[in-house]
Amino acid sequence: MSGSGSRRIFAWLSLAAALLAVAVPATAAEGPRRPNVLFIAVDDLNDWTGFLGGHPQARTPNLDRLAARGVHFTRAYCPAPACNPSRTSLMTGFLPSTTGVYHNNQPWRPVLPDAVTLPQHFTAAGYDVAGGGKIFHNSFNDRASWPEWFGLSGRDHPKPDQVPANDIPRTAHFDWGPVDVPDEAMGDHKTVSWAIDWLDADRDRPFFLAVGLIRPHLPWYAPRPYFDHYPIGEIALPEALADDLDDVPPAGIAMAKPEGDHRKVVEAGQWEEAVQGYLASIEFADAQIGRLLDALDASGHRDDTIIVFWGDHGWHLGEKEHWRKFALWEEATRVPLIVVAPGVTGPNGRSERTVSLLDLYPTLIDLCDLPLRPGLEGEGLTPLLRDPAASWDRPVVTTHGRGNHAVRSERWRYIRYADGSEELYDHEADPREWTNLADDPRWQAVTAELAESLPKTDAPDAPRAN
């Protein structure tokens, strides 16, 4: 699809949405008040939580109690394993293969000038809307989406006295270590404090409040007590095979970059220290989420507020000799996702269906009875919120770079790279994705079936920032 063609389609969708918004009363004064929404995001969190069980030492008591209040998804996946394209998809409702936003250095608004973002749709429906922290990718936050915005400067994120704090030459924030400051000095604490104050204000309309935490994004700097909970010498490292890349095609190895971060960590003897930093950052973020949940309950809005908690993508810590996100395997693409919807979800719900962050936009439209939005590419999750075990035969697609896609069903992960090379993993027999079955003729029918879910077209790359 040409750039001009894409713009015309998005302009039409925006116009249709605006007409629908006019046709439906914003506040529906004659009917019941719409529910509030507390929209909580964290950055770079994989499955290292208590409710997902991704690491035996992870401490996430507040996320675990939130999961117990509603439905959590064990197979939730990101549209892209990078902050900007994943968040762009979630907030606009469109796949990277539709928009051409594949990487962190591609501003999304220039290629989607008429897109109506999730908070804009709530604003048009008569909600009080505010956001703070990190919701869009920081470099491309969309101020037009926020009637009220709370941001922080770099000075609000304390650093150790010596940077880098580890023994590895610092590249792209690849650093970790404790900081000797109280929680109150940290940027995420300040964001949550702002949100708590916002919740305390009297309002005569329902609200949509988005709160985005930076941790556990790199660098892993957190107050020292969180590091002290994970003594060096007692930390469990991720399960990893030394020869795990032997059956991975060159395109996958290029994403893994085994001679980059992984080699640095191993040669410096910093693997355990890195895991310590990640675990400490997760626990710190969990503590801030606990403060926010306590404030919501104290505000009197517990029973009329939908809570959505999501992570933008996963994270590798040495699996497949890879660190960070930026890959199409399970660790980089699986995300934590919890939805608490009063009157819809029951307690302790656990859904094993494959779902996408792309599904949140249509889900919130449904739960809040907002005007429909034509063209959204996700699927509303309300049937699974009502019955987590409901029938749901829908694979999820994750994209990293133009033409590189992963398809995840409940049993299988199929990857096809832009050069046509492939990977196939059977999660029933191989949950760590150690054995690539793509060349095994016994599974060619499976590969062909999964390939049907690949995007039919790949939009050209959006222009990159200078």
CA angle 227, 228, 231 (to 5 degrees): 95
Phi-psi sector, 54: left (phi>0), alpha (psi -120 to 50), beta: alpha
Query: Count H helices, E strands: the chain?
Result: 14, 17
Q: 373: Cβ–Cβ under 8 A, 6 or more apart, which residues?
A: 13, 17, 20, 93, 116, 121, 361, 362, 365
Chain length of the chain: 466
How far is residue 288 CA from its own chain's centroid?
18
What is the C-alpha to C-alpha distance for residues 334 and 43, in angstroms, rounded to an integer? 13
Q: How far apart are CA 349 and CA 323, in angstroms?
A: 32
Residue entry with tokens 């309002």: 203
Secondary structure of the chain: what % helix, strand, coil (to 5)?
A: 35, 15, 45
Q: Please give the backbone phi and psi of residue 317, each rounded to the nearest 5 degrees, phi first.
A: -130, 50
Distance of alpha carbon 291 from alpha carbon 274, whole angstroms = 26
Residue 372, SS3 per DSSP: coil
Q: Which residues are catalytic?
A: 83, 137
User: Do the Cβ atoms of 407 and 421 come closer than 8 Å?
Assistant: no
Q: Is 116 helix (H, G, I), strand (E, B) or coil?
A: coil
